[in-house]
Amino acid sequence: MLIYLIRRLLQSVVVLAAMSLLVFVGVFMIGDPIEILINPLADEIEKDRARAALGLDLPLWEQYLAFLFNAVRGDLGRSFAYNVPAIDLILERMPATLELAVTATLIGGVLGVPLGLLAGLKPHSAAGKSIMAGSILGFSLPTFWVGLMLIMIFAVELGWLPSTGRGHTGRLFGLEFSFLTLDGVQHLFMPALNLALFRLALVIRLARAGTREVALQDYVKFARAKGLSQARVVWVHVFKNILIPIVTIQGLELGQAIAFAVVTETIFAWPGMGKLIIDSINVLDRPVIVAYLLVTVFMFIVINLLVDLTYSVLDPRVRLAEQRA
Amino acid sequence: MTAVAEEPRRRAAETPFRRFAANFAESRIAVAALMGLAVIAAAAFLAPWIAPQDPFDLKQLDILDSKLPPGSVGVDGMTFWLGSDDQGRDMFSAILYGLRTSILVGVGASLGALLIGMPVGMLAAYFGGRADSLIMRIVDIQLSFPAILIALILLAVLGQGVDKIVIALVAVQWAYYARTVRGTALVERHREYIEAARCLALGHRRIVFRHLLPNCLPPLIVVNTVLVASAIALEATLSFLGLGLPITKPSLGLLISNGFEYLLSGKYWISFFPGVALLITIVCINLVGDQLRDVLNPRLQR
Amino acid sequence: MTASAPTLAVENLRTYFFTKSGTVKAVDDVSFSIDAGRVLGIVGESGSGKTVTGFSVLGLVDPPGRIVGGRVLFKGENLVGADEERLRRLRGGRIAMIFQDPMMTLNPVLRIDTQMIEAIRAHDPSMDKAAARARAREALGRVGIPSPDERLRAYPHQFSGGMRQRVAIAIALLNKPDLVIADEPTTALDVTIQGQILYEAQKLCRESGAALIWITHDLSVIAGLADEVCVMYAGKMVEAGGVDAVLDAPLHPYTRGLIGSVPSRNRRGQKLAQIPGMTPSLIDLPPGCAFRTRCPRADRACAETPAITLPVPGRPVRCFRPYSS
């Protein structure tokens, strides 16, 4: 187990380093940010001075090394646009994005599994069919379009829910969260639902497919032959078997939600990391882009590692194989 | 004598393809979706001929026609069935052209990803060992990152343009193909007929192309359908965010993005109808893909 | 013979499967009965309907199949059409079943003790966990599993095939059933283990006085184990009677062919006797005797479906031209 853990950690470090190089080199090639930030009428001397001030005149590999050195110390440069440390900017916005992503993933999991289970057990019933139809829609509807429609219906036509922003927040562990106030919940509802829709559809389909397969297995029939109640057969025997792949997917889904929050945040003007990155790409605020990409890559690596560990804990066959290895 | 002559004729009717088509047709919804797709594809393909207006020919536009609700009649007598946008473009025409771009980009990118991913996966499975581990490690790492993130990075670096968005989509999708193909190829590789072919000392290329490939096709077809839908949706999303196609070659995503600002003032049709077109296309592809998956799935054998 | 009702009496049972490709008459007019403490062997090739017969007794036939006719009298009570809760109470309680494939009979993600305790508590909810556990432990000991305490906490995949089947037998006998239906429990095991399992099952049933139905395709197993035998072919019962009588002097051509094809009955150096042809597909089976295409004694009369006759008392046979005893 320990060897496995160490091996994964090393692998993660390698990936992180590779990604940082990729990101740095790639972003470096975007273009000259000076062109955007400085008055275009400034002459070359001024531009050169600005470049030197920002360290942009050094050769690429020197810039990269300096960058790495600083990165390890937690300094990822200052934002060109906001003139504050990029890492601060990202971290300030992270709770908002995480709140959105976690809520969306939770909705997907908590609603999706029972619905998928039902659809798998009674595929030809009215409920089963409508759940499947719903899931196909949820899977196919482009997230951004759904967001627009939600705004149109609930904010514009009906006026029930606010269409932008985060609303009032409450404090918990020193961080601002929306779900702690009623106004915040109202603001959180639509974006979270929007983000959740795709994941919900995915979980329903997974749960349904898993249930259909598991329900045909001999051990389910044997459980019934033992005289167990239908409830126990479904919620203990079937449920536990379909849960393993779903739970691990949920971990990855959290990562997907964090990334896809980019779209939802843009539509609903939710002040999170996603909106920040889009704006930064448009103004070529390189440090922020790099910081965002690195922070996200780091988060994914951690999430993937946790998911792998969870999988081995949940599935006794994997766990014991690891132990013996 | 007549009994013998009848046998071959009866057997000819039951080819695998016929059986497959019959199984597929069991779902009326899937068949309807397939026909819907045919209509959509035809409409998109024939756009230059059937659209009442070329929405990107500036000479045909009149700013006085802008933001008209659906059904209104424009300045020179043309009916805007689905309304017009802020430039005076007929939404119906814009949708047809947009569909064209969306479908071309989506299908093109998927095919590109297939052409890269399939050989990679096949080689990994066929040669096995270290090559396989290395390739699959790269594939797994790429697959653990959300598609949108990868696309974002690439587009931030590459900039705008049709070719660039295709590159980004291909980069996102090749790994799915590689993994799927490798999975099936790995199972097939250990089957007896491949062993037999190797015993006969047939060349590698021949084994791969004539024997391995045809048997890997079913899951590949299913994955391909899903990925085409996914490519179309992703391209729309990226265009919506302003990172994708330039305004001169708009796809449905860009059209929707255009209409975003008018949503709050009640002019819904600029975003709504392109969205519906996008939605119907993706839903149809997914319905067909679902049925294909059920039909080609050996574990659900009747 | 006692005047009380036999433990199980199956009368003219018919179970059909209504599939897209046609109707499969998996069980088509099968009748037999068994008394307490006796062993009945049901013999047939794969596809003869013997497994479905077992499931029909317990009411475990899944759609698209269902029982369309006949009666299943368990101690005089007809189980066909009985309500689900009544059947659930009987399953695992008064009637137990042992499945064929030990690999898939036990749920891979649940521990052995969980799967045994639940079988006990499903029929006696008042029993506390500790008492149930003690009973499970004792049952494992009785089937010859060493260090039962450790084994209880283990997972199915940590057992060998033979051990898993012993566990399955232990589970079957947990609630002291009156009837045990064993569906080819030794087919998936190798020969040495087979012998042990047979011995265990026989011993336990004699000790508890339960009736045992042993479903198999292997005649040699029946010869050593059963008191009575029922031979099935293509969904129909074709011959039945005391095991010695049937094996020494079979009346039906199929039984005779089966016995003749057992390798030990053939002489060295001679061609192995076998029944020519193949079992017919059960989809839309044409009328008439299903065996006639392979029968050395078939004639034009066999185009009609033969009924059960009693040329010898206690020896029902379904044939127009049975052998004489």
Amino acid at C109: V
Interface with A, mutate which of B99, B145, B226 (most A CBs under 10 A): B145
Of B154, B237, B264, the CB nearest to A143: B237
In the predicted model, is pLDDT for residue A33 greater than 70?
A: no
Q: What is the DSSP string of C154-186?
A: S-GGGS-HHHHHHHHHHHHHTT--SEEEEESTT
Q: What is the pLDDT of residue B59?
A: 67
Please, which chains are in contact with C (at least 3 CB pairs closer than 8 A)? Answer: A, B
In the structure encoding, which two tokens stand for residue C85, read together?
Answer: 């809760």
Backbone angles phi, psi at C34, to 5 degrees: -145, 140
Taking only residues 223 to 252 of chain B, the set having a beta carbon closer than 8 angstroms to any beta carbon of chain A reads 229, 233, 236-237, 240-243
What span, in angstroms and rounded, lies between the C-alpha atoms of A266 and A165? 10
Residue C88 sits at the chain A interface (C-beta within 8 Å): yes
Distances (CA, A) of C96 to A223, B203, C55, C174, C205: 11, 57, 11, 9, 12
**Each residue of C24-35: pLDDT tens digit?**
888 888 988 898
- Name chain C contacts of B300, Cβ cutoff 8 Å: none
Average pLDDT, stretch B158-170?
A: 82
What band does B5 get if pLDDT is binned at 50, 70 and 90? very low
Q: What are the beta bridge partners of residue C118?
A: none
Contact A184, A166 (CB under 8 A): yes
Residues 20-39 of C with CB under 8 A from B: 20-21
* pLDDT exceeds cutoff 80 at A269: yes
How many Cβ pairs within 8 Å bridge chains A and B?
Answer: 106
Q: Are A294 and A23 in contact (CB under 8 A)?
A: yes
Q: Do the chains contact at B271 and A26, CB–CB below 8 Å?
A: no
Across the interface, of B148, B279, B290, the residue whose CB is closest to A141 is B279
Please state, in angstroms and rounded to a whole number, the distance separating the CA atoms of residues A113 and A99. 21
Task: Please tell me the distance from the alpha carbon of residue A159 to that of residue A202, in angstroms, as a whole number.
Answer: 30
Does residue A145 belong to the interface with chain C, where contact is any CB pair within 8 Å? no
User: Both tokens of residue B295?
Assistant: 């039909």
* Cis amide linkage into residue B48, ω under 30° from 0: no
How close B115 comes to chain A (CA, Å)? 24
Q: What is the mean pLDDT of residues A168-181?
A: 67
Which of C74, C256, B39, B242 has the alpha carbon at shortest distance from A277?
B242
Q: Which of the residues A13, A29, A129, A145 would you substitute to probe the B interface, choosing the one with the greatest number of B C-beta atoms within 10 Å?
A: A145
The structure tokens 């929306």 sit at A178
Q: Say whether pLDDT at C294 is over 50.
A: yes
DSSP class of residue C279?
P
Q: Is some CB atom of chain C closer than 8 A to the CB atom of A240?
A: yes
pLDDT mean over B250-266: 78
Report the alpha-carbon distance of residue C174 to residue A226 in Å, rounded.
10
Neighbouring chains of A at 3+ CB pairs under 8 Å are: B, C
Give the per-residue pLDDT at B11. 44
Separation between Cα atoms, residue C216 and residue C221, nearest integer Å: 8
For chain B, strand residue ranges (E) read 72-73, 79-80
Per-residue model confidence as pLDDT tens digits over B135-156:
887 887 787 778 888 888 777 7
**Helix axis angle, A286-314 to A86-121, nearest 10°:** 40
**ipTM at complex level:** 0.82
Token pair 């929405």 is found at: B55
Please indicate if any CB of chain B lies within 8 Å of the CB of C19: yes
Neighbors of chain B with 3 or more C-beta pairs under 8 Å: A, C
Which of A222, A229, A230 has its CB closest to that of C99?
A222
pLDDT band, residue C229 (cuts 50/70/90)? very high
Gyration radius of chain B over CA positions: 24
Out of A225, A228, A315, name the one closest to residue C118 (CB). Answer: A228
Residues of C in contact with A318 (CB under 8 A): none
Token pair in block for residue A189: 């509802």
**Helical residues (DSSP H) of C209-252, grouped into ranges:** 219-225, 243-248
pLDDT at B298: 61
Cα dihedral C62, C68, C73, C78 sign: positive
Query: Phi and psi dihedrals of A168, rounded to 5?
Result: -70, 145
Q: Is the pLDDT of residue A51 over 70?
A: no
Strand, coil or helix: A177: strand
Under 8 Å CB-to-CB from A206, ≥6 apart: which residues?
A112, A116, A242, A245, A246, A249
Mean residue pLDDT of chain A comes to 77
Cβ distance B286 to A136 less than 8 Å, yes or no, reads: yes
The predicted structure's pLDDT at residue B9: 41
Phi/psi for C32 (5° steps) reads: -165, 165
Q: Is the pLDDT of residue A325 over 60?
A: no
Are B144 and A255 in contact (CB < 8 Å)?
yes
Looking at the complex, report in whole angstroms how far the Cα of residue A304 sits from the nearest Cα belonging to chain B: 7
Contacts B154 to A, Cβ<8 Å = 26
For C76-88, letters b (16+ CB in 10 Å) and e give eeebbeeeeeebb
How does residue C296 score in pLDDT terms, banded at 50, 70 and 90?
A: confident
Q: Cα–Cα distance between A182 and A169 in angstroms, integer?
A: 9
pLDDT for A182-226, tens place per residue?
Answer: 777 777 888 888 889 988 998 898 888 888 888 888 888 888 888
**To the nearest whole angstrom, how far is the Cα of B201 from the nearest Cα of chain A?**
37
Cα distance between residue C41 and residue C32, in whole Å: 11
Q: Is the pLDDT of residue A324 over 50?
A: no
Report the range of poorest mean pLDDT among B146-160, C179-193, C262-276: C262-276
Comparing CA positions, the residue from C232, C234, C196 lying closest to residue C215 is C232
Question: Could you report the per-residue pLDDT of B39-94, keeping only the tens digit for each?
Answer: 888 888 887 777 777 766 666 666 666 777 777 676 666 677 777 777 777 788 88
In this complex, the residue of C89, C101, C118 whose CB is nearest that of residue A232 is C118
Which candidate in A219, A244, A312, A320 is best for mutational testing of the C interface (most C CBs within 10 A)?
A219
Coil, helix or strand at residue C12: strand
- The phi-psi region of residue A195 (left if phi > 0; otherwise alpha if psi is between -120 and 50; otherwise beta) is alpha
Long-range contacts of residues C294-298, Cβ cutoff 8 Å, at least 24 apart = C294/C254, C294/C257, C295/C253, C295/C254, C296/C253, C297/C253, C297/C321
Compute the nearest-CA separation of C17 from chain B (Å). Answer: 12
Local confidence band at A172 (pLDDT 50, 70, 90 cut-offs): low
Q: Which residue has the higher pLDDT, A160 or C39?
A: C39
Q: Which residues of chain C neighbour A229 with C-beta distances below 8 Å?
A: 88, 122
Q: B18 pLDDT band (50/70/90 cuts)? A: confident
DSSP, res B190: T
pLDDT reading at A160 higher than 60? yes
**Tokens, residue A69:** 């050195």
Distance from the first to the final alpha carbon of chain C: 24
Residue B238's pLDDT is 86
The answer to whether B156 contacts A26, with C-beta atoms less than 8 Å apart, is: yes
% of chain B residues with pLDDT over 90: 1
Per the DSSP assignment, residues forming a β-bridge with C156 are none
DSSP per residue, A219-256:
HHHHHHHTT--HHHIIIIIIHHHHHHHHHHHHHHHHHH
